[in-house]
A and B are shown apart, each in its own frame.
Chain A
Amino acid sequence: MDLDLEFAPRDAAAHPPALAPIYRSTLLRAPRQPLLSLRSTLTEITGPIFGESELDPIDADLTRNHARDGDPIGERITLHGRVLDGDARAVPGVLVEIWQANAGGRYRHTNDSFTAAIDPNFGGCGRVITDAEGRYRFRTIRPGPYPFPNRENDWRPAHIHYSVFGQGFSQRLITQSYFEGDPLIARDAILGTMPDVAARQRLVATLDMEASAPFEALAWRFDIVLRGRGASRFESVA
């Protein structure tokens, strides 16, 4: 195995623990045995590659990609940032997918029964491939908060779900971004699974006036850092 292709071990302290009673759903779904650590093999340093030709440019515009007879309700925003690795290198050419609730906090999903209305002109998902500098950009609407069954009265702060492919399958990441200044952030049970306040802060998108379009849309910036490359503390297996 070429050392330059390996990924650094995941920094466990940067991520929420599998078992976190404050988030009830983890109680029966968190493995109780420790994960088996192994040095990346060829299976992990490789991963699927997606081409621009597989996507439609409108896929990245959630204000238009499911519009039927008008515009979606809500505050239009630009959501952008860079995908980087732990060594601060851009991660170009990787698929970034997002999904979210509409302005009322309702998901277009057969299993969502929240009383807020479905927006006929909003699907709630988008995707894009990062450019040569690792940049991605979506146009969407700001999602609303929504309640979820957990503790007595739990509400999710407004958030966007992200799925990111790195250059190898072991960089695969699903995460969420929040909006700077939302008072629900401090009360959120899902963010509350992370004891490290600095780690929570890394999930908060910041208002980016410079990238906002006057009289059109505010911009929010969210950079995503995947594992870096580099020496591993584990024994080679392949």
Chain B
Amino acid sequence: MSKLPETPSQTAGPYVHIGLIPRQAGFDIFENNLGAAMLTPETKGERIRIEGRIFDGADALVRDALVEIWQADAGGRFAHPADRQNGPPPDPHFRGWGRSGTDFATGVWGFDTIKPGRVGPMAPHASLWIVARGINTGLATRVYFADEDAANAEDPVLRMVEPARRFTLIAPRALRGGIPVYSFDIRLQGDGETVFLDV
């Protein structure tokens, strides 16, 4: 049992951009904007884009949210010491993490990244974490890829999701300018509510 009680989560509020993506708040302060770019030319793997919108319970666009992504590299390795899997080391040119605000006008968030590899028994996937005004504790979910049917069918997390809701975690693929784009709309509440994870 824990010795110290956890610090409670609090909403990121409507001005989360100031702290985490200040350029979207309207000013430039840091030389290095963490999470703005996930790739360098040296990063290994298939270039893809993952993007989507967020809808509230009244089907309105959530335009003030911040989304973070965390994922494995093309070989299914995480750039972290707790990844003790055998095999080639993690790609030194890929941290596997990025940040994107939903656009104030269009509500679209998105990441230019690489397609992650399988991680053990899990199908290729990326973790998303969503914070915003009105969200008291950050919401975690996962993006799976619609062109990975066989792997998805074996995925231990997807298999825990009731079949009728699995579609909420699987992003369809389309080509745009030669780049595969996976579309992942998130529904916070109501019909087609996205499955959120307590991890």
A35 touches B18 (CB 8 A): no
Which residue of A has the minimal Cβ distance to B120? A238
Residues of B within 8 A of A198 (CB): 5
Which of A72-80, A108-116, A179-187, A207-215 binds B?
Answer: A108-116
Q: B57: which of A29, A123, A202 is its contact (CB, 8 Å)?
A: A29
Residues of A within 8 A of B30 (CB): 56, 59, 127
Given A36-B195, A109-B26, A237-B156, A10 contacting B6 (CB threshold 8 A):
yes
Which range contains the number of B residues in contact with the other chain?
A: 35 or more
- Nearest Cβ on chain A to B35's Cβ, whole angstroms: 8
CA distance A134 to B193 in the complex (A): 38
Decide if the interface of chain A is mainly helix, strand, loop or mixed.
Answer: loop
Residues of B within 8 A of A55 (CB): 32
A42 within 8 A of B: yes
CA distance A230 to B2 in the complex (A): 9
B108 within 8 A of A: no
CA distance A125 to B12 in the complex (A): 13
Which of B42-50, B128-136, B170-178 binds A?
Answer: B128-136
B70 touches A238 (CB 8 A): no
B136 touches A32 (CB 8 A): no
Give per-residue flags for B86-129: 1 if the beta carbon is below 8 A from chain A beta carbons, else 0.
Answer: 00000000011100000010000000000000011110010101
B82 touches A42 (CB 8 A): yes
Q: A88: which of B4, B97, B196 is its contact (CB, 8 Å)?
A: B4
Given A108-B27, A227-B6, A36 contacting B18 (CB threshold 8 A):
no
B7 within 8 A of A: yes
Given A37-B198, A65-B29, A16 contacting B80 (CB threshold 8 A):
no
A203 touches B2 (CB 8 A): no
A3 within 8 A of B: no
Given A86-B2, A125-B19, A226-B6, A43 contacting B125 (CB threshold 8 A):
yes
- Nearest Cβ on chain A to B59's Cβ, whole angstroms: 9
- Nearest Cβ on chain B to A56's Cβ, whole angstroms: 6
Give per-residue flags for B29-60: 1 if the beta carbon is below 8 A from chain A beta carbons, else 0.
Answer: 11110100000000000000000000011101
Which residue of A has the minimal Cβ distance to B72? A43
Residues of A within 8 A of B193 (CB): 31-33
Which residue of B has the minimal Cβ distance to A237? B156
A28 touches B136 (CB 8 A): no
A145 within 8 A of B: no
- Nearest Cβ on chain B to A166's Cβ, whole angstroms: 11
Task: List the interface of chain A (C-beta within 8 A of B).
Answer: 2, 5, 8-11, 14-18, 20, 23-33, 35-38, 40-50, 54-56, 59, 65-66, 84-88, 95, 97-99, 107-112, 123-125, 127, 161, 163, 167-170, 172-176, 190, 193-194, 198-200, 202-203, 223-228, 230, 237-238
- What would 15 more interface pairs be, CB under 8 Å, given A31-B188, A66-B27, A86-B4? A9-B198, A23-B136, A28-B188, A42-B120, A43-B199, A85-B4, A88-B3, A95-B34, A97-B19, A109-B18, A161-B15, A170-B140, A227-B6, A228-B2, A238-B156
